[in-house]
């Protein structure tokens, strides 16, 4: 009887751990989006990766390690081509196996240029993660852009 109780408890604890892992990875992805939307803050984004992490996109190649990731995000910031941006991720699928995980997300990125043109990017992320002594971190992040468009915009005025 005691053995069955311990086995059941062990199984329950493993399931709880997996739920907590999925939640922490989801929060990590949210922190990544927030770092991007903070004027592409390279320090914030790089800190979310393991030291040998890889950030890659179908539009601008691969960047290996904290220094390269930080430098790439600083180059985006320094280009001043984005006045502000917002990253939105949906349809997450996270699979945890021990101290490793894989995840996919659909994403929409919207940004406004200094000359007030508005852009929309659609695609998906394929990410890998590793559990570290300080929590989950990105081992790799790959962004596949499926559509990139300039949006036609119109100014609306509220009338009373």
CA dist., res. 160 & res. 100, Å (int): 56
The token pair at 7 is 């086995």
pLDDT at 154: 67
pLDDT at 84: 87
Residue with tokens 């180059």: 75
41 secondary structure, DSSP code: -
**pLDDT tens digits, 92-140:** 999 999 999 999 999 999 999 998 899 999 999 999 999 999 999 999 9
pLDDT grade for 145, boundaries at 50, 70 and 90: very high
CB atoms within 10 A of CB 144: 15
Find all residues with CB under 8 Å of 1, minimum gap 6, and list them.
Answer: none
Cite the DSSP H helix spans in the chain.
2-37, 42-46, 65-79
**pLDDT tens digits, 39-82:** 999 999 999 999 999 999 999 899 999 999 999 999 999 999 88
Across the beta sheet with 49-57, the strand order is 61-64, 49-57, 135-151, 118-132, 100-112, 84-97
Global pTM? 0.89
pLDDT grade for 3, boundaries at 50, 70 and 90: low
Picking from 16-20, 121-125, 150-154, which range would have the lowest pLDDT averaged per residue?
150-154
Which domains are assigned to the chain? Answer: 2-151 (3.10.450.50)
The residue among 16 and 155 whose pLDDT is bigger is 16
Question: Which residues on adjacent β-strands are paired with residue 1?
Answer: none
Find all residues with CB under 8 Å of 105, minimum gap 6, and list them.
Answer: 29, 89, 90, 91, 92, 93, 124, 125, 127
């Amino acid at each position: 009887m005691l053995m069955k109780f311990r086995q059941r408890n062990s199984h329950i604890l493993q399931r709880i751990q997996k739920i907590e892992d999925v939640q922490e990875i989801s929060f990590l992805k949210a922190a990544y989006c927030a770092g991007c939307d903070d004027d592409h803050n390279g320090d914030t984004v790089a800190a979310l990766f393991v030291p040998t992490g890889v950030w890659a996109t179908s539009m601008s190649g691969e960047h290996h390690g904290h220094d390269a990731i930080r430098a790439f995000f600083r180059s985006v910031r320094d280009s001043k081509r984005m006045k502000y941006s917002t990253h939105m991720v949906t349809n997450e699928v996270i699979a945890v196996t021990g101290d490793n995980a894989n995840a996919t997300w659909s994403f929409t990125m919207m940004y406004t240029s200094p000359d007030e043109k508005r852009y929309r990017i659609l695609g998906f992320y394929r990410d890998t993660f590793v559990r570290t002594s300080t929590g989950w971190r990105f081992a790799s992040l790959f962004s596949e852009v499926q559509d990139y468009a300039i949006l036609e915009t119109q100014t609306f005025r509220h009338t009373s």
